[in-house]
Structure formats: C-alpha cells, structure tokens
Amino acid sequence: MITLRRMKKNFEFKKVYSEGRYYVEKYLVMYSIKNSSDYNKVGFSVSKKVGKAVIRNRVKRLMKENFRMLESDAKKGFDIIFTARPVSAEADFEAFKKCMESALIRGRILKKQ
C-alpha cells in the first residue's frame, strides 16, 4: 500500500496558495506548485461550508482515496492541495474521481488516458 506524503504545516499550505496555480472543477479546487524533490506532497482542505464533521470526513476520505489511486500515474515533484467545494457533499466516488482526474490533467500532473 502506498502511503501519501502529506502537507500538514501551515507554511506549506500558504506557499502553495500564494505561489502556485489553481484549477477549478465542480467538486474541488486544485492548487499546485513544483517542488525540488522526487515525490509529490499532497494536502487536503475541507471547510465547514461543506457540512458537519461526518460529511467533511467523508469528503476527505474520498479525496485521499481518489488521489491514492491516481498517484501512480502522476508526474513527481509537485506540492498539491485539494480544497473541497460546498457541492462536494453530494458527490459520489466516481464523480469525484472524474473531477480530480480532470484537475490533474489540466495541471499537467497526470497524462490523458
């Protein structure tokens, strides 16, 4: 099982938000910036606008699992943040996967399949 290298520190998030590019999709916004390492670092953000704790945790699990499945096909050397939009509370697994895949392709992190 692949473990994700996670961004957890506030300064890491701030750097990506301020210096990176963003790509808006229906259920999420992806922020990305190149890093100098040979692996991807990923962060997930779900605000209270999405819903109560149970819903926010479900959305985080969806984002983590979808990225874990797509990471093997992704280019290395990026810091990536996925921020859930309020409509993501209604998303199912497949819709979320398409949305994340589209954002990664637009950000040139994932090649078209």
What domains are there in the chain, each with its CATH number?
Answer: 10-106 (3.30.230.10)
| pTM, 2 dp | 0.92
- State the Cα–Cα distance between residues 52 and 30, nearest whole angstrom: 22
pLDDT of residue 111: 80
- State the Cα–Cα distance between residues 106 and 8, nearest whole angstrom: 25
- pLDDT tens for the chain, 113 residues long, are 567 788 989 999 999 999 999 999 999 999 999 999 899 999 999 999 999 999 999 999 999 999 999 998 999 999 999 999 999 999 999 999 999 999 999 999 998 76
The CA–CA distances, whole Å, from 101 to 27, 39, 63, 90, 105 equal 12, 18, 11, 18, 6
